[in-house]
Amino acid sequence: MTTLRLGTRGSELAVTQSSHIADRLRAETGVEVELVTISTLGDRSSAPLTTFGGQGVFVAAVREALAAGEVDLAVHSLKDLPTAPDPRLALAAIPVREDPRDALVARDGLTLGELPSGARIGTGSPRRVSQLNALGLGVETVPLRGNVDTRLGKVTSGELDAVVLARAGLSRLGRVDVVTEAIDPIQMLPAPGQGALACECRVDDDATIRLLAVLDDPATRAAVTAERSLLATLEAGCSAPVGALAEIVNDGEELWLRAVVGEISGAPSIRLSASGSPDEAMAIGERLAAEMLAEGADELVHASTTAR
């Protein structure tokens, strides 16, 4: 087979993630892989994500290049991928997930509970803002964009007391040593799909679909399917204050899904859970979302959207 062209964003984290997938494909299939970097709207703009397009801003250009045949496969952070399927593309593999938790990086090695009242915490995520405010710690959240080093630099320079990032990204970059606390999901549920990667190819490219299949992890796929099904049923994008985490428990026999829909101020919020067979992952997400909608989740999502 000729060399596979792998489309990726050009950020350090995206290239690192894509390189990991390329290395695995080389090792497990013997095929050669070439990385092709593609600029996306999310990379080119420094504006808050909630103001210029929301879900898909980090993946749209890469997916268009894939659909046009400019690359043969693409690797995304799954949490950036819209929940609506693209009929041109196949989600051919979801590899084993990294730790999905959010991570605090704070001055002086502090944890969330040790930060003083009034401490400034940087994050660009309404989901994180909502859950931080709900904890009632008296901290101030500060809007934040930029790559990992830019965000960490705000702490080392003293401009911020802490930042919240996905632990998975720090781990993939070999920077997990800077984490001062991996935040318990009881305090902060991650974004649906956080910590997982998505490997896409064209729906009619049977050869690449077969190659990517060796990377797929059924347990991870079931978990993120439940999370993304919930997000889709809530009709909430990646910038909405929605957190969800599914786990496979009881020796793989049960899927347990927890979710929260919040409001930027931190109150009120709706937090519910559901469980069932991993084979019913999509239905579990839909069922839990329906329960949350019955509790008024749509009003919270709408309020947070119109407040920006």
Active site residues: 80
Cα–Cα distances in angstroms (integers) from residue 22 to residues 7, 18, 241, in the given order:
11, 6, 33
Rounded Cα distance between 159 and 140, Å, is 13
Cβ proximity of 51 and 308 under 8 Å: yes
DSSP 48-103: -GGGTT-TTTTTHHHHHHHHTTS-SEEEEEGGGS-SSPPTTEEEEE-PPPPP--EE
If phi > 0 it is left, if psi is from -120 to 50 it is alpha, else beta; for residue 43 that is: alpha
At 17 the three-state DSSP class reads helix
- Amino acid of residue 248: I
At 106 the three-state DSSP class reads strand
Rounded Cα distance between 21 and 258, Å, is 29
The residues, any chain, with a CB within 8 Å of residue 57's CB and separated by 6 or more, are: 40, 41, 42, 45, 49, 80
- The backbone torsions φ and ψ at residue 272, rounded to the nearest 5 degrees and listed phi first, read -140, 170
